[in-house]
Structure 1
Amino acid sequence: MKILIIEDEIKTAQLLYNYALELRPDAEVLPFVHKIDESIKVLTKQSDIDIIFMDIQLADGSCFEIFKEVQVNCPVIFCTAYDEYALKAFDANGIAYILKPFDEKAIAKALNKYDQFSKKNDLEVSVLMKLKNIIANDSVSKQVKSFLVFHRNRYLPIELDHIAYFYIRNELTYIYTYDEKSYSIDLTLNTIEDQVSQNIFFRANRQFLIHHKAVKEIENYFARKLLVTLKVATPERIIVSKAKATKFIQWMQSS
């Protein structure tokens, strides 16, 4: 069994490491991972991980950013102090969780649940995605037709059909329109992504959420990545990761 621990608290990570080896002496526990980017790199390279212990709130953001960048094909045991509603929904889907602070019994129970799933071969990635939607959103966001921005002492509604892309720069979120105007907006890119149709907008990477009509051309890039050029100017190149490249091509074909 190969185990990965994604946890930004060193003491908690060490405790998980110790319990895991006590309960599964033959297991191989990989070096701790503390950040989102590090997790993506490890999961991209390591395709034979059997189980992941994952904290929900990492130092640099939500762990669910990882799922947007790389395909996770193994069971995940979440370590969290999240609200009871999310945990109940999590448990109802048959995936183990550990409520902090935890003890060895909690780890043993979680690993036993993993063993049961492994024997039945009954754990699917779709369940993880359901969990992501439950915890990442307190409620299902309604798709919007426009966004309201404050510009030059006025509120302006910007319709979705006029938006070429959303992007992050210097930790601020902006709208960029087809007539090449830029507006700041007081929403995170994650929130915007939840409010627009995934058939129309695609999260190309952590900086860009692009409209399918804005795409001018797609080129093969290094290491099986994609370089996307839009019909309007962009503040930097748009690179789609290897993990998302196939999904992006399928999205373009179906749009």
Structure 2
Amino acid sequence: MTTIIIEDEKPAARRLSRLLKDLEIEVSTMLHSVEEAIVWFEKNKHPDLIFLDIQLSDGLSFEIFEAVEINSAIIFTTAYDEYALKAFKLNSIDYLLKPIDDEELAMAVKKYLSTDRRPKKLALDFEDIKRLLVNPLEREYKKRFTARVGQHLKIINADEVECFYSENKGTYLATSEGRNYLLDTTLENLESELEPKSFFRVSRKFYVNIDHIKDIVSYTNSRLKVKLNRYQDQEIIVSRERVRDFKLWLE
């Protein structure tokens, strides 16, 4: 099985390559831009599987498919949320949210190996895809959440939530009043329910609300540390793979 990675952040590409090597999958090539990928695909036999970042340094990776007909299977590595990805009519096996979790990667690879891997023609509506990425679909996001407190249900408005976080296999929200509540959901399920202008997933463990950020400071290994107005139970670190998207989100 031939595998390549298309990712503009070289540390992220190297980390993904190491994770794949642990799964006994050798990456033959790593490409870092739309232009480089187009030239490579025009001159080389196409791989069985592509790990594809959506946003590259010189444009959207979908521009590669506009220039070259590719029938490889694709696993997205992306910071974009699930509802947008569902609109991509690609030969996609799965998607992995950055920073990539090794267990989720293993599941995606297993899913690929268990599918019909015969070449298929990609079906893309590039204009729809670009519109989704530049101007996400207008939709209703959750404005309130409920948490069980004893025999009662507590209603919490979305604008009161400083962050959502996972801990000990549970999902919690922390409010501006300094209270934490256990939710009957997961961070993955929240992905399509949170207003992306207000909430950002800074790591596998945390979503933060931009209206409750008190300070942002530099942290080790090119990461950032987020301080909220009230929540202080755990350090909130923006993973290195998400720093660039986090900065764009702040703007």
Gaps of 5+ in 2: 6-16, 42-46, 66-71, 76-84, 94-111
In the alignment, is the contact (CA less than 8 A) between 1:4 and 1:31 conserved in 2? no
Secondary structure in 2 matching 1:179: coil
Distance 2:245 2:191 in 1: 16
Give the CA deviation at 1:35: 8.6
Which residue identity lines up with residue 73 of structure 2 in the other structure?
I
Give the CA deviation at 1:145: 1.0
Give the CA deviation at 1:31: 7.5
- Residue 209 (structure 2) aligns with: 211
Which residue identity lines up with residue 223 of structure 1 in the other structure?
N
Give the CA deviation at 1:203: 0.7
Matches for 1:1-255 after TM superposition, within 5 Å:
3-4=3-4, 33=20, 46-48=30-32, 53=49, 73=61, 77-78=73-74, 93-95=89-91, 100-102=114-116, 106=118, 109-110=119-120, 126=129, 142-253=140-251
What fraction of aligned residue pairs are identical, expressed as a percent?
21
Select the structure that is richer in helix: 1
In the alignment, is the contact (CA less than 8 A) between 1:141 and 1:194 conserved in 2? no
Q: Deviations over 1:186-208 (max 9, x none)?
A: 01112123112100111111101
Q: 1:96 to 1:177 in 2, by over 3 A?
A: closer
Give the CA deviation at 1:250: 2.2
Q: Deviations over 1:54-77 (max 9, x none)?
A: 7xxxxxxxx9xx979x99958861
Q: Deviations over 1:106-153 (max 9, x none)?
A: 1xx25xx58xx9xxxx989x58x88xx9xxxxxx98411100111021
TM-score, with normalisation over the residues of structure 2? 0.55
Q: Deviations over 1:77-116 (max 9, x none)?
A: 148xxxxxxxxx989835366794536xx1xx25xx58xx
Gaps of 5+ in 1: 6-29, 55-62, 80-88, 134-139
In the alignment, is the contact (CA less than 8 A) between 1:146 and 1:160 conserved in 2? yes
Which residue identity lines up with residue 227 of structure 1 in the other structure?
K
Secondary structure in 1 matching 2:233: coil
- Residue 10 (structure 2) aligns with: none
Distance 2:220 2:242 in 1: 14
Q: 1:99 to 1:177 in 2, by over 3 A?
A: same
Secondary structure in 1 matching 2:234: coil
Which residue identity lines up with residue 230 of structure 2 in the other structure?
V
Alignment root-mean-square deviation, CA: 4.8
Q: 1:123 to 1:230 in 2, by over 3 A?
A: same
Q: Deviations over 1:149-179 (max 9, x none)?
A: 1102101111111111110001100010011
TM-score, with normalisation over the residues of structure 1? 0.54
Whose radius of gyration is greater, 1 or 2?
1
Distance 2:208 2:142 in 1: 16
Q: 1:208 to 1:32 in 2, by over 3 A?
A: closer
Give the CA deviation at 1:47: 4.4
Distance 1:202 1:245 in 2: 11
